[in-house]
């Protein structure tokens, strides 16, 4: 029984990318006999394969396979990154996107970057995989890409593939380190965005609170900052409130490095020494942290680790149509500098 033009084109295309055809296609007569169709149909198939950039040359005896496509199951697959402007400007994400672009380009995968879902919907093609960075997934997006082919990056969500920093474990480990390694018993935390379920700041808070709940000998005090408090002066009332709640605080975990700058300013105005009077631990390893006085101890999300897992997941999704949904969590690295007292008692730098 003969098959249609589209089915033949797709079958040969799959054969090229899987390595069945590595140099040239069989002659038109041989393929006509193989698929039980007339030579005119095979000529249409070859024309379609040429449009897909899988073959080159004249129809007949010398239709050559594009060597970039031969044995390459990723050839001309489409990967879309949906990322808002804030994410694109973030040093961590820009490094990951650069690494992703290189890896996919080496495999001749087409990478597309859009800053909004509306912009993406104007592109006119259906992607083989979508990576969402800092953008909420709408049900309409699933019209363009299967649900299990959508990756939520650094903000896992049920029903989608996910790769993220393990923020909950980080919050837990931060308080544990300050308590068990450094001997602090009164620990504060600058928290924010606690109304965002499963947001990175909320998860850091949950992990920190979990450790404190398990260790009643630790006095754990938090204050929530408005998420729009993005400059040092605006943070001062919150820091004042934290210290009023527990004047015996000797260590503070800032949920981001920017909040640590506010703590430094508070300490200077109150004649407190860092780390002798107050130890400070941040998150993010921003460029300015090594220039603070003293340099800030902080957590660093690893672009290498996150990027490696993201690339691996994308490549799996491009060739496994029914891959099960999973979440992968990556622990950030603690970078110890001069803002924590007692950190060297067990030989740490």
The full set of domains in the chain, from first to last, is: 5-65 (1.10.10.10), 78-166+305-332 (3.40.50.2300), 167-300 (3.40.50.2300)
What is the per-residue pLDDT across 15-73, written as a single tens digit (0 to 9) for each? 989 888 888 898 888 888 888 898 889 889 998 999 989 998 765 567 899 999 999 99
Mean pLDDT over 164-169 rounds to 93
Tell whether the model's pLDDT for residue 105 goes beyond 90. Answer: yes
Question: For 301, phi and psi rounded to 5 degrees?
Answer: -70, 130
Query: What mean pLDDT value characterizes the chain?
Result: 87
Cβ-contact 298, 256 below 8 angstroms: no
Cβ-contact 87, 133 below 8 angstroms: yes
Give the span between the Cα atoms of 285 and 245, in whole angstroms: 28
Name the one residue in this structure whose structure tokens are 């193989």: 34
Question: Higher-confidence residue: 246 or 83?
Answer: 246
Predicted TM-score (pTM) of the model is 0.79
Give bridge partners of residue 112 from the DSSP assignment: 80
Cβ-contact 238, 194 below 8 angstroms: no
Question: For 183, phi and psi rounded to 5 degrees?
Answer: 80, 15
- What does the buried/exposed string (b/e) look like for 218-252 if buried means 16 or more CB atoms within 10 Å of the residue's CB? bebbbbbbeeebeebeebeebbeebbeeeeebbbb
Give the span between the Cα atoms of 200 and 119, in whole angstroms: 26
**What is the number of other CB atoms lying within 10 angstroms of the CB of residue 143?**
9
Question: Is the CA virtual torsion 338, 343, 345, 349 positive or negative?
Answer: negative
So what's the pLDDT on residue 185? 95
| Cis peptide preceding 74, ω within 30 of 0 | no
What is the per-residue pLDDT across 111-127, written as a single tens digit (0 to 9) for each? 999 988 888 877 778 89
Give bridge partners of residue 279 from the DSSP assignment: 251
Question: Higher-confidence residue: 208 or 286?
Answer: 208
Give the span between the Cα atoms of 349 and 337, in whole angstroms: 7
Of 37-46, 274-283, 322-331, give the range with the top mean pLDDT: 274-283
Question: Is the CA virtual torsion 162, 164, 166, 168 positive or negative?
Answer: negative
Give the span between the Cα atoms of 284 and 303, in whole angstroms: 11
So what's the pLDDT on residue 116? 84
Strands (DSSP E) contained in 158-310 are 161-165, 186-192, 219-225, 251-254, 279-283, 297-300
Element (H, E) at 113: strand 110-114
Tell whether the model's pLDDT for residue 343 goes beyond 60. Answer: no
């Amino acid at each position: 029984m003969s098959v249609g033009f589209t089915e033949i084109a797709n079958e040969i295309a799959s054969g090229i990318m899987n390595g069945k055809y590595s140099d040239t296609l069989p002659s038109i007569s041989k393929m006509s006999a193989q698929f039980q169709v007339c030579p005119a149909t095979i000529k249409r198939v070859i024309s379609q394969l040429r449009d897909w950039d899988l073959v080159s040359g004249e129809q007949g005896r010398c239709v050559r396979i594009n060597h970039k496509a031969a044995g390459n199951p990723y050839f001309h697959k489409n990967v879309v990154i949906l990322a808002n402007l804030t994410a694109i400007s973030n040093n961590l994400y820009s490094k990951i996107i650069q690494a992703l672009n290189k890896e996919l380009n080496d495999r001749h995968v087409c990478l597309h970057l859009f800053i909004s879902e509306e912009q993406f919907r104007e592109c006119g093609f259906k992607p083989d995989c979508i990576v969402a960075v800092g953008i909420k997934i709408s049900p309409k997006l699933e019209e363009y890409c299967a649900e299990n082919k959508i990756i939520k990056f650094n903000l896992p969500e049920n029903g989608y593939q996910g790769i993220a920093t393990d923020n909950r474990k980080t919050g837990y480990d931060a308080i544990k380190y300050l308590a068990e390694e450094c001997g602090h018993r009164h620990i504060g935390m600058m928290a924010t965005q606690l109304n965002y379920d499963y947001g990175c700041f909320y998860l850091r808070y949950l992990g920190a609170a979990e450790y404190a709940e398990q260790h009643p000998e630790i006095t754990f005090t938090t204050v929530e900052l408005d998420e729009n408090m993005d400059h040092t002066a605006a943070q001062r009332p919150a820091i004042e409130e934290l210290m009023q709640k527990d004047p015996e605080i000797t260590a503070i975990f800032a949920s981001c490095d920017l909040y640590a700058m506010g703590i430094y300013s508070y300490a200077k105005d109150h004649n407190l020494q860092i780390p002798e009077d107050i130890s400070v631990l941040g998150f993010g390893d921003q460029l300015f942290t090594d220039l603070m006085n003293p340099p800030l101890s902080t957590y660093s999300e690893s672009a290498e680790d996150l990027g490696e897992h993201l690339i691996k997941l994308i490549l799996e999704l491009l060739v496994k149509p029914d891959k099960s949904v999973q979440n992968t969590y990556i622990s950030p690295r603690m970078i110890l500098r001069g803002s924590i007292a007692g950190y060297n008692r067990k030989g740490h730098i």
